[in-house]
Amino acid sequence: MIVDLPSSNSAAVNRKLVELRARGGVLALGRVLTLVIVTEDGGQVEDAIAAANEASREHPCRVIVLARGQRRAAARLDAQIRVGGDAGASEVVVLRGYGPLATDEPGAGMVMPLLLPDAPVVAWWPNEAPAVPAEDAIGSLAQRRITDALSSRNPTRAFEHRRAHYVAGDTDLTWTRLTRWRALLAAALDHPPHEPVTSAVVAGEAVSPSTDLLAGWLAVRLQTRVKRSPSSGGGGGMASVQLNRRSGPIELVRPDGRTATLRQPGQPDRMISLTRRSVPDCLAEELRRLDPDEVYGAALAGISEVARGRTPVKAEL
């Protein structure tokens, strides 16, 4: 069910939610958090809602979409409520602000009355994000702040902002896309012989925040020098990792962006499905934890050590 509320306000949206709840169409009970999505009005709004709806099947929540419209238009708020089959396991409120309502402070003012009481707040910028999410009007309301440098118009600059202005509670989907890579490498090192890694090489696209993050994570976690190199294949993104030990290297190679090969001394090569993770899958993972991700913060710090070719100082992770 989709209910349109043109030229509306937050109070009218709240009343309509209560009315829908009274009819039995919306269940507020069982909502575990409020997910606030900040984006520009347009086609990307539907993509963000679709990702949130899919993630909500694992995390029932209230989704508030702040879709910023034309800033030169007259002040107006067009609202829309989606429930039932149009909202997954959540209830979706879309707020399209125009004119002064399309800016940060008024947007936060429209969102605040719609937050679920006594429930955590997560902010997500699926495309362009503020330079310092924690200081943003919406970001200051949230316990967790999710960005995606890879979806920005300038991924390199966006990722540099994430590194320079990291605050506990921040995370980026470039990190979440690495979960399976990190799990496979950690599992490989769990098998004997339990030798220290003397050096490592991480290869990926020249512009690949995920590759930079994996190199930083390995440097900090293994306390060894890591070389970040460009990949020669055409798969894009992360391409390969080589962990050098006295008994021989461990290699995880993904040349085509879909299937990887794990090579270990004394063992047969293993083929592993390692396709790129979808945005809904990454979002669902990030919503599983609402505490700060210290490992992500340490990986960001490790990138500088990789660039300098140094071994990081031992850190507790």
Task: Check: CB of residue 128 under 8 Å from CB of residue 152.
Answer: yes
Does residue 119 share a domain with residue 53? yes
Counting residues of the chain whose pLDDT is more than 70, the rounded percentage is 93
Of the listed ranges 56-70, 201-215, 299-313, the one predicted with least confidence: 299-313
Query: Is 174 part of a structural domain of the chain?
Result: no
Does residue 138 share a domain with residue 10? yes
In terms of residue numbers, what domain contains 262?
179-308
Q: pTM for this one? A: 0.91
Does residue 207 share a domain with residue 132? no
Query: Is 169 part of a structural domain of the chain?
Result: no
Predicted confidence (pLDDT) at residue 277 exceeds the cutoff of 50: yes
Query: Is 314 part of a structural domain of the chain?
Result: no
Does residue 203 share a domain with residue 97? no
Query: Is 35 part of a structural domain of the chain?
Result: yes
Does residue 299 share a domain with residue 203? yes
3 state SS of 286: helix
pLDDT, position 317: 44
Residue 202 backbone phi and psi in degrees, to 5? -120, 125
Instruction: Return the H-helix or E-strand segment holding 158.
Output: helix 155-164
Query: Is 69 part of a structural domain of the chain?
Result: yes
pLDDT, position 24: 65
Of the listed ranges 27-41, 52-66, 198-212, 258-272, the one predicted with least confidence: 27-41
Query: Is 297 part of a structural domain of the chain?
Result: yes
pLDDT, position 316: 47
Q: pLDDT confidence of 27, banded at 50, 70, 90?
A: low
Q: Give me the amino acid identity at 289.
A: R
Does residue 255 share a domain with residue 201? yes
pLDDT, position 190: 92
Cα–Cα distances (Å) from 87 to 13, 50, 69, 93, 111, in that order, read 16, 8, 22, 9, 18
Does residue 234 share a domain with residue 126? no
Does residue 248 share a domain with residue 189? yes
C-alpha span between 251 and 188 (Å, rounded): 10
Counting residues of the chain whose pLDDT is more than 90, the rounded percentage is 68
Query: Is 168 part of a structural domain of the chain?
Result: no
The domain boundary residue, chosen from 123, 147, 171? 147
Please provide the size of the chain in residues.
Answer: 317
C-alpha span between 8 and 80 (Å, rounded): 9
Question: Which of 83, 96, 90, 116 minimizes the C-alpha distance to 9?
Answer: 96
Query: Is 298 part of a structural domain of the chain?
Result: yes
Does residue 203 share a domain with residue 86? no
pLDDT, position 191: 87
Q: pLDDT confidence of 314, banded at 50, 70, 90?
A: low
Query: For 141-200, how does the pLDDT look when each residue is reduced to its tens digit (9 = 90+)?
Result: 999 999 999 999 999 999 999 999 999 999 999 999 999 999 999 999 998 888 999 999
The domain boundary residue, chosen from 88, 123, 147? 147
CB-neighbour burial class of residue 86 (10 A; exposed 0-12, middle 13-18, buried 19+): middle
Of 108 and 242, which is predicted with more confidence? 242
pLDDT, position 233: 65
Query: For 80-114, how does the pLDDT look when each residue is reduced to its tens digit (9 = 90+)?
Result: 999 877 667 678 999 999 998 888 788 889 999 99
Question: Which of 9, 14, 38 minimizes the C-alpha distance to 28?
Answer: 14
Does residue 299 share a domain with residue 232? yes
Does residue 18 share a domain with residue 140? yes
Instruction: Return the H-helix or E-strand segment holding 281.
Output: helix 279-286
Instruction: Return the H-helix or E-strand segment holding 239.
Output: strand 238-244
Average pLDDT over residues 264-272: 94
Mention every residue, 6+ apart, whose C-beta is less than 8 A from residue 80: 2, 3, 4, 5, 92, 93, 94, 96
Of the listed ranges 13-22, 135-144, 200-209, 305-314, the one predicted with least confidence: 305-314
Cα–Cα distances (Å) from 29 to 84, 161, 224, 274, in that order, read 15, 38, 49, 37
Does residue 276 share a domain with residue 223? yes
The count of structural domains within the chain is 2
The domain boundary residue, chosen from 147, 170, 193? 147
Question: Which of 99, 88, 100, 24 minimizes the C-alpha distance to 62?
Answer: 88
